[in-house]
Amino acid sequence: MKRILVIHGPNLNLLGQKDPTLYGNFTLEELNQKIMDFASKNEVEVKLVQSNYEGEIVDELQKARGRFDGIVINPAAYAHYSYVIRSAIEGVQVPCLEVHISNVHKGDAFRRKDVIGPVCVGVISGLGWIGYLLALEYFFFPTS
């Protein structure tokens, strides 16, 4: 059975409250339920983490080494400037997919800079909550 770590970054605990026109009307709890339902149907073990703190995200990434087959991370605003999270992803040697609910290439120019994506196997952006399920599905298929 595959083991996947899913990390929700800062402010994702406010889903459904923070700009629903951009991020949707679903809550983090509803998103997590969709992830868990998908994982259960596909016999994938998932650990869900949400943190507003960069160091806590780094701690979770470091603990993933040797314990998980993949990581799905929505670093939220940390995607634009967190070299600490980037370095942690590089160091754990676990395939990582970056996910964003909204299209980060729309809106503010600073959101177009992504320091996390280049150390991930891919980036899914702008597909809403289904992006998380697509990221999980990626780990079903061998990469070579």
**pLDDT tens by residue, the chain, 144 residues:** 899 999 999 999 999 988 777 777 899 999 999 999 999 999 999 999 999 999 999 999 999 999 999 999 999 999 999 999 999 999 999 999 999 999 887 776 666 689 999 999 999 999 999 999 999 999 987 565
Q: Does any domain span residue 106?
A: yes
Q: Does any domain span residue 143?
A: no
CATH number (domain holding residue 100): 3.40.50.9100
Range(s) of the domain holding residue 68: 2-138
- Number of structural domains the chain divides into: 1
Find all residues with CB under 8 Å of 34, minimum gap 6, and list them.
26, 129, 132, 133
Catalytic residues: 23, 100
pLDDT score at 112: 63
Q: Does any domain span residue 144?
A: no
pLDDT score at 72: 98
Q: Does any domain span residue 82?
A: yes
Q: Does any domain span residue 130?
A: yes
SS in 3 state form for the chain? CEEEEEEECCCHHHCCCCCHHHHCCCCHHHHHHHHHHHHHHCCEEEEEEECCCHHHHHHHHHHHCCCCCEEEEECHHHHHCCHHHHHHHHHHCCCEEEEECCCCCCCCHHHHCCCCHHHCCEEEECCCCHHHHHHHHHCCCCCC
